[in-house]
Amino acid sequence: MKADINNFKESYLELEEALKEESEALSELSDAFDGFVNMESFQGDTAETTREYIQDIQKPIIEGLKAVITSNL
């Protein structure tokens, strides 16, 4: 069985581009979270709980996903 190296290379380049786009989207999401939790009007007990949840749970998940993606580029 013969492998078509050009087809493989094209598929790899498409995957690489898709992974870069996903990494950029995750960065944008992380920035949006930062903007949200740092709003001056975001105050009170619920705001503090939400802020902690985003910082302690969501941000590490995003960073972990970005690390997995960039390690495969």
Compare 2 and 15 and report the one with higher pLDDT. Answer: 15
Residues 6 or more apart whose CB falls under 8 angstroms from that of 27 comprise: 66
CB 8 within 8 A of CB 14: no
Residues 6-58 have pLDDT tens digits of: 889 999 999 999 999 999 999 999 999 999 999 999 999 999 999 999 999 99
Whole-model pTM: value is: 0.82
- By C-alpha distance, which of 56, 70, 61, 62 is closest to 16? 70
- H helices of 1-73, in order, are 5-37, 45-53, 59-71
Largest separation between any pair of C-alpha atoms in the chain: 65
